Structure 1
């Protein structure tokens, strides 16, 4: 079992560059293919937002300006991709499965399409083993990010949130958060390839984090059936913040990958993420593998 096909929604930000570097690191580990997808704003989506009181000429000008700005951004993102591809000598550009499989190593491809980013990324992610997404930008409200919610809750696939700065390593020391829920079980299932490969593994649990479901001993027994040995470590919230305690426990273990379930207080994207999920998304300095 391995990750063979990764989707990277690529942006032109510094966080997007770190995500690309992280995705390439993962691709090198698994000899995987990374498909970089840039979603341009569709100028036709601007017209319904223009509102009443604007003339047809004004709306056309808004659409033209949106098209220019979107095209400029797409060009910058394409340049970023080409620069990374040129600087990573062991990575082959492959636009078909046949080419990728014949290469015998990590491969890359790029695509730019117009549409609504949250819809396109969530739907396309369903055809990949994992999505790699940039870390939320500084100051961004992760609870109101439609694109982030979409890929976490609508893709049906594990999501690797890249750190703000590309890590030196990934998956050698792995922490998994356990609280007995279906989401945490899905995260550990998605992390099995990493857990098999890791040099050290730790399951993190806490009374304040536990929900209705099997205790930590149950997941340790499950992993034993997969010939994976892991130690359990109870952590404590930091100033009553479970998310801070979880990240602190991962730091104490020198983890370079954290796996956990993603939670929301509502199925509606407009409502806030669970507190632990939100804290980890905003503050993690290592890659985080999340599942819903």
Structure 2
């Protein structure tokens, strides 16, 4: 069951903390959300090339406390009136568990899902997202800039038969059971060896999920774009996608479905690797 949601944030992305998406998941699954702050402070020990030994930065403790105070203020401003009637198990603030964004992935291992906003005001979103995706071992939801509304009633799966997508299917069965319908989307030529979409649809139906199969039409566009086009046509409000079936380096150089969806999705997307 999906009971614990992690919302990591720094001072730069507190204004886009994904409260709406967290509230939707909390309502569906009676889940609890934790907004966890990661500070940015100088290393307390600095090497000085002009003198022997090291120089200690003694103000790090005060800087950390100042940032925590700013985080509390930013969190309360972002949450607003939602704090009173946040659904499920509610939402809380944690300013003590993390000392940098590098630790988000480690903490995410004891949460059912981590929610990361994709925003122009948050230039480090991809670093936080990828670190959590590769090192956390749990699903990561990416919420696009300026998105609002509900998610999870019309779910789509970009099915390419891969290990990564199969793992995500297993991790999100509760999400799909709570949906009105799940759309299994295939793209011609976009798959590894493995069961086709009809096989996945049968599997989901055995779990009590209303699954419908869709084959995207032939198109010169990349698979990621085709999946997103299908999501738009079907009215999907949440996409499930296995991430980086090709290596991350290959996708960076040549592109790929994951890169296309990361950059272009206008609906929340849950990824797993």
Task: Flag whether TM exceeds 0.5 (same fold).
Answer: yes
What pairs up with 1:83-98 in 2 under 5 angstroms?
83-88=77-82, 89-91=84-86
1:176 aligns with 2:157: yes
- Residues 84 and 16 (structure 1), Cα distance of their counterparts in 2 relative to 1, 3 Å cut: closer
1:157 aligns with 2:141: no
**Aligned partners of 1:280 and 1:45: how far apart in 2?**
39
Residue 101 of structure 2, aligned match among 117, 123, 145: 117
Report the 3-state secondary structure (helix = DSSP H, G, I; strand = E; otherwise coil) of the residue aligned with 1:165. Answer: coil
**Aligned partners of 1:46 and 1:149: how far apart in 2?**
28
What pairs up with 1:22-171 in 2 under 5 angstroms?
22-44=21-43, 47=46, 53-55=49-51, 60=56, 64=59, 68=63, 72-88=66-82, 89-91=84-86, 105-113=88-96, 114-118=98-102, 120-137=103-120, 140=123, 145-171=126-152
Decide which moves more: 32-41 or 184-193: 184-193
**Aligned partners of 2:106 and 2:72: how far apart in 1?**
22
Shift of 1:264: 5.9
Residue 275 of structure 1, aligned match among 237, 256, 260: 256
- Residues 157 and 237 (structure 1), Cα distance of their counterparts in 2 relative to 1, 3 Å cut: farther
Report the 3-state secondary structure (helix = DSSP H, G, I; strand = E; otherwise coil) of the residue aligned with 1:171. Answer: coil
Report the 3-state secondary structure (helix = DSSP H, G, I; strand = E; otherwise coil) of the residue aligned with 1:154. Answer: helix
Residue 194 of structure 1, aligned match among 175, 181, 187: 175
Aligned length: 271
Tell me, which stretches of 5 or more residues in structure 1 are unaligned?
A: 93-104
TM-score (norm 1): 0.80
Q: What is the match of residue 192 of structure 2?
A: 211
Shift of 1:33: 0.7
**Aligned partners of 1:39 and 1:272: how far apart in 2?**
31
TM-score (norm 2): 0.85
Report the 3-state secondary structure (helix = DSSP H, G, I; strand = E; otherwise coil) of the residue aligned with 2:120. Answer: coil
Decide which moves more: 233-242 or 33-42: 233-242
Shift of 1:219: 0.6
RMSD between aligned alpha carbons? 3.3
Tell me, which stretches of 5 or more residues in structure 2 are unaligned?
A: none
